[in-house]
Amino acid sequence: MKQFDAHEATRPVSHLAVVDSSAAMSPFEKAAEYGHAKVTKHIAQSFGLSVFAGAFIALAFVFYLTVTTGAAPGSWGLVRFSGGIAFSLGLILVVVLGGELFTSTVLSAIAWAQKRVTTKQLLGCWTRVYLGNLCGAMLILLLVMMSKMYDLNGSAWGLNALHVAQHKIHHDWSQAFALGTLCNLLVCLGVWMTFSCKDALGKSILLILPVAMFVSSGFEHSIANLFMVPLGITIEHFIGSEYFMALGVVPQAFADLTISNFIVHNLIPVTLGNIVGGAVFVQPWVFLD
């Protein structure tokens, strides 16, 4: 048996012998690994994590509504910035806890561009994650309605939700598409930056400002909208006319909050914009690596 050598035990170990293989990878290689792992993840696990991610983003929008309700009219920029900071909780939860969010999963296009996954695998991943995010958002919507959060601050919380939801369906297609593109460019840049660190605190800090910027600037996030607009539709259709009368609002003012208007005027163009912002815009970086 080899005897213990105190000198050997205390001898400095060359840093070359303990280099973390992931540290030697370029950001592009890390992004490709990130995308490949998402696409090849077991279907049940991927769907389950996407449900959690949809719930996280919905909870972040609840936080946004609470922070921005009842704000002074003269502090528009600061109110939106504080709401953006609050909403960053959603992406932080997704990244730190390992959820599967459609907008960040779009980065898996890098692995597809490098021919590490097939088109069928890529689209299958995007579809199940999108549907899982929808399920998570609907779960939080149900809980929010059951808890009657729309009554907060003398029902001003619900009125704020109605105004935010209605604003989202009044973009024209090109505007909604552009806002979706800008949004996911920032989301994916935020996620990309997290590849540079390992600790949860560092990742969280890096995500705050990109998210705060896209939220405060009014950019459009398809998964957030899967919660926000249906919330407005649910309040408008199921709360009752006495709710609006107490607020001094005519119920017909929000009659355009319908599922068809949401899908046609917001969800489709915003989702396509999210795909372009997160997938197409990153491809030049991949080929320049």
Residue 191, in any domain of the structure: yes
86 vs 64: CA distance, rounded Å: 6
Residue 18, in any domain of the structure: no
Residue 82, in any domain of the structure: yes
Which domain range does residue 173 map to?
25-288
Is pTM beyond 0.85? Reply is yes
Looking at the structure of the chain, the number of domains it has is 1
pLDDT (tens place) for every residue of the chain, 289 residues total: 445 454 544 444 444 443 445 556 666 677 778 888 889 999 999 999 999 999 999 999 999 999 999 877 778 899 999 999 999 999 999 999 999 999 999 989 988 988 899 999 999 999 999 999 999 999 999 999 999 999 999 999 999 999 999 999 999 999 999 999 999 999 999 998 998 888 999 999 999 999 999 999 999 999 999 999 999 999 999 998 889 988 889 888 999 999 999 999 999 999 999 999 998 886 655 555 5
55 CB-near residues (< 8 Å, 6+ apart): 136, 137, 139, 140
Please count the residues of the chain: 289
Q: What is the CATH number of the domain that holds 119?
A: 1.20.1080.10
Residue 165, in any domain of the structure: yes
**Residue 280, amino acid:** V
**Residue 188, amino acid:** C
| Owner of token pair 């528009």 | 76
Residue 216, in any domain of the structure: yes
Residue 12, in any domain of the structure: no
